Amino acid sequence: MTSLSYFASFTIACSSSREGDDPNKQKLNRIKVNGTSNMSTTKVAEFLSHKVAVATTLAPAPENGSIPNKDQTRQNIPTKKQFVDPYRQGLIIEEGVGYRQTVVIRSYEVGADKTATLESIFNLLQETALNHVWMSGLLGDGFGATHGMMRNNLIWVVSRMQVQVDHYPIWGEVIEIDTWVSASGKNGMRRDWLIRCHATGIVYARATSTWVMMNQETRRLSKMPDEVRDEISPWFIEKQAIEEDFQEKIEKLDDKAKYINSNLKPRRSDLDMNHHVNNVKYVRWMLETIPDQFLEDHQLSNITLEYRKECGSSDTVQSLCEPQDDAILKERVQHNNNVNLLNVYSLASGILEGNGILMKSLNDKRPLNYTHLLQVKGERKNEEIVRGRTTWNKKQSTAPFSM
């Protein structure tokens, strides 16, 4: 029995025993294929069984009769391209090179206001990126590394990331996350994401990132080997979730920053499979430095991160934060053409005398910016880990559309 037929028979047996006993569970085991038709778990198995030439779910059984190691048995990393993953609710889109995953926002992914936290969004971006590589058939035994990267002892590291959030998903909401990759210069790769509401199609968030390769032993950046470029370039798409514009350099903060949180220590749970602190932890350290009163009334709409150095388990980290003085009021009061100069002076006088309702209303709508820096505290000098810039708006209703 081939590995694929084993998967098909196993799935059919499980789905028949579960779906047959409880008709309500049939709806829970259905996924959307190519955005047009619904397919049950049994149908997915039948679909995959007819795609032996292009898709496989389990790694092929050893020909020499040897027993695969326990990790291979438990993970079943694909060795060929898949089109549908019923377990992760994922499928290949964009003419066979993009990836879409349907996700339900869980209780541990939301905060006190029942909306997904920024950390949860970052985790979902990371997870869908890895699942995209998983379904490509290129995944080696590493954290998103391809077979060619494993042979050259290379790993991916992120150098820049930007996330724009218009609306935060709420607890129990079903969302769709699309992700794809493209070239970034000669030795880098760009990965983009779109997060949208499954029910309405409204785009909630966009994200983009730039990745480079680092030698796992020397911890130095590396050029992209030709064999790795040959692996990943067929998956490139000329498409951007966030249009490229002039990338203003993020200012470096010093010890004179208004808010400072020192003596931050990574925990073992903060380390990823590449043995450095996961970038999601950086986001938490940055946001925890902003005053709680501000966080209670404001919601992040944009974050840009520029990564400089990895952080290890023995490092002591300092988080610096500075509100930006150049966060000016962009909204302007519009007047009718028949408003004369006297009325304008009268309005201005009223505001100056204490009638600040109009100005308060405009101030509530203006974005506020913070500059951030995480650095490793050293005996002689401090080393930058990541610079950041965040943009915030006053908290609004969680509904992105009128009911």
274 labelled catalytic: yes
**What H or E segment, with its residue span, contains residue 345?**
helix 341-352
List the catalytic residue out of 197, 276, 302, 372: 276
Q: Within 13 Å of residue 94, how many CA atoms lie on the same side as its CB?
A: 17
**Exposed, middle or buried: residue 324 (CB in 10 Å: 0-12, 13-18, 19+)?**
middle
Instruction: Give the chain's count of helices (H) and strands (E).
Output: 10, 15
**CA-based max dimension of the chain:** 93
14 labelled catalytic: no
DSSP string, 302-344: EEEEEE-----TT--EEEEEEE-TT----------TT--HHHH
198 labelled catalytic: no
The Cα–Cα gap between 383 and 385 comes to 7
CA 378 to chain centre: 31
Buried b (16+ CB within 10 A) or exposed e, 2-40: eebeebbeebbeebeeebeeeeeeeeebbbebeeeeebb
List the catalytic residue out of 131, 278, 311, 372: 311
List the catalytic residue out of 274, 369, 382, 393: 274
What three-state secondary structure class fits 293?
helix
**What H or E segment, with its residue span, contains residue 299?**
strand 298-307
DSSP string, 210-246: EEEEEETTT--EEPPPHHHHHHHGGGB----SS----
Which positions are catalytic? 274, 276, 311
